[in-house]
């Protein structure tokens, strides 16, 4: 039974970079870790890649139905077809990722590669070599609002049967740790999950700012002023740490009715542009007055944090840019630098947070500090907070530029 449950994980994501492939999947992990090295020479780490035969083709896509999908015969068939379509989409994308990964790592690793020929060998290897499994979330455990087939069984096996330490990490800063936990519990029907297992890039940003401003900057977090481009989830996580937060999704200005748009849900006026004249006269009262206290001396802005904001606009760019100009010591933090995400059956590129980060970097002539995957900052947070033995830690994900790079260079 243990063997069967171990195999489930490879029908879910197949480790650091894939989900479904027609005939192969692979694992990339650090078998040894030594301190003191640099990224250029892999820090003395012996990186190994294991490839095994998965025997999964388009005709063998999972037909498993989740309890929530059985709503009568008609709905059942529709949901079954949607699940098959999801599996096929993932499989096709994995073929592309597989070829790209092999091109990246085949010649680099050479004789250091380990080939595992079947799932039994892979199962034994995972059981023997790893204590901690770190999962990316979107595209690995779920796709949109659909669970990846057999993800639920895999997690239950790892947590309950094998007693592995399982962590969940995402570059999505739109959710706080609590929101991420609630989403996983709802989608995966897994009541075993706790908030402490969740590591979102919003949490990573808050921890980084706490360390830099409180421990290294000799400031009390409650006296720290952080301006946000991002969602309410990012703002909530920062507020949970005690930061005073401005900006975010409700960054509105009620003083001027010119050149504005009205939201459907509120009578508040949401302005999206800013003219030369308005920027010249803009007072930055909200951004520079901590807790609403009106002082003669502006309260310093200690950091500008950039998370994905689907309502990002020129006005937000202007305000963040000038705040960095007015407060040159303010930290510029990116929750991630993802270029794009994939949506739809034809894998359309949905611009990611990296596009917003580049806009602010270009305008401010500053380089943002990335606290999401694949940064060392996030790797150090995981190691310190969970006392990880990096040589016995496996990263599971679906992207080369974030998950694989993080597993190879960071974890």
Q: 3-state SS string over 196-258?
A: HHEEEHHHHHHHHHHHHHHHCCCCCHHHCEEEEECCHHHHHHHHHCCCEEEECCCCCCCCCCC
Q: Are 220 and 237 in contact (CB under 8 A)?
A: no
Q: Are 377 and 369 in contact (CB under 8 A)?
A: yes
Can you read off the two tokens belonging to residue 180?
A: 């991420």
Find out whether the peptide bond into 374 is cis, omega within 30 degrees of 0. Answer: yes
Q: Are 76 and 68 in contact (CB under 8 A)?
A: no
Q: How many CB atoms sit inside 10 A of residue 214's CB?
A: 17
Can you read off the two tokens belonging to residue 311?
A: 């309502």
Can you read off the two tokens belonging to residue 302?
A: 């200690």
Q: 46: which strand partners?
A: 32
Selected catalytic residue, list 57, 85, 128, 131: 131
Rounded to the nearest 5°, which phi and psi values hold at 357? -60, -45
Of all residues in the chain, what percent are helix, strand and coil, respectively (each to 5)? Answer: 45, 20, 35
Sign of CA dihedral 153, 157, 158, 163: positive
Residues in the chain: 411
User: Is there a catalytic annotation at residue 341?
Assistant: no
| H or E segment to which residue 24 belongs | strand 24-32
Q: How far apart are CA 334 and CA 121, in angstroms?
A: 40
Can you read off the two tokens belonging to residue 113?
A: 């590669």
Q: How far apart are CA 225 and CA 214, in angstroms?
A: 12
Q: What string of DSSP letters covers 381-407?
A: HHHHHHT--GGGEEEE-S-IIIIIHII
Q: What is the dihedral of CA 251, 252, 255, 260, to 10 degrees?
A: 130
| Closest CA relative to residue 250, chosen from 96, 22, 236 | 236
Q: How far apart are CA 167 and CA 393, in angstroms?
A: 10
Active-site residues, by number, are: 131
């Amino acid at each position: 039974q243990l063997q069967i449950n171990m195999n489930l994980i490879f029908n879910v994501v197949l480790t650091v970079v894939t989900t479904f492939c027609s005939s192969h999947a692979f694992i990339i992990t650090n078998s040894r870790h030594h301190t003191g090295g640099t990224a250029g020479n892999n820090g003395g780490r012996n990186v190994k890649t294991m490839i095994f035969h998965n025997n999964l083709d388009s005709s063998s896509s999972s037909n498993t139905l989740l309890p929530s999908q059985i709503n009568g015969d008609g709905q059942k068939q529709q949901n079954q077809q949607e699940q098959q379509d999801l599996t096929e989409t993932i499989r096709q994308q994995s073929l592309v990722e597989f070829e790209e990964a092999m091109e990246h790592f085949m010649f680099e690793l050479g004789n250091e590669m380990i080939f595992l020929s079947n799932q039994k060998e892979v199962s034994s290897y995972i059981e023997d070599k790893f204590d901690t499994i770190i999962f990316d979330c979107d595209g690995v455990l779920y796709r949109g609002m659909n669970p990846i087939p057999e993800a639920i069984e895999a997690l239950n096996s790892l947590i309950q049967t094998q007693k592995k330490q399982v962590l969940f990490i995402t570059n999505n800063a739109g959710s706080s740790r609590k929101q991420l936990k609630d989403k996983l519990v709802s989608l995966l029907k897994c009541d075993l999950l706790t908030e402490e297992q969740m590591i979102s890039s919003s949490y990573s940003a808050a921890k980084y700012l706490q360390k830099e401003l409180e421990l290294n900057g000799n400031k009390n977090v409650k006296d720290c002023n952080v301006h946000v481009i991002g969602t309410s989830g990012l703002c909530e996580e920062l507020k949970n740490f005690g930061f005073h937060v401005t900006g975010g999704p409700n960054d509105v200005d009620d003083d001027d009715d010119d050149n504005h748009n009205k939201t459907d849900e509120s009578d508040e006026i949401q302005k999206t542009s800013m003219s030369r004249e308005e920027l010249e006269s803009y007072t930055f009262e909200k951004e520079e007055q901590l807790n609403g206290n009106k002082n003669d001396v502006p309260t310093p802005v200690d950091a500008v944090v950039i998370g994905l904001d689907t309502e990002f606009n020129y006005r937000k760019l202007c305000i963040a840019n000038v705040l960095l100009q007015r407060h040159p010591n303010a930290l510029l933090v990116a929750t991630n630098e993802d270029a794009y995400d994939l949506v739809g059956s034809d894998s359309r590129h949905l611009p990611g947070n990296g596009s917003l980060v580049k806009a602010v970097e270009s305008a401010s002539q500053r380089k943002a500090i990335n606290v999401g995957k694949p940064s060392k900052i996030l790797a150090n947070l995981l190691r310190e907070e969970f006392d990880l033995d990096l040589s016995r830690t496996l990263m599971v994900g679906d992207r080369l530029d974030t998950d694989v790079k993080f597993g190879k260079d960071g974890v």
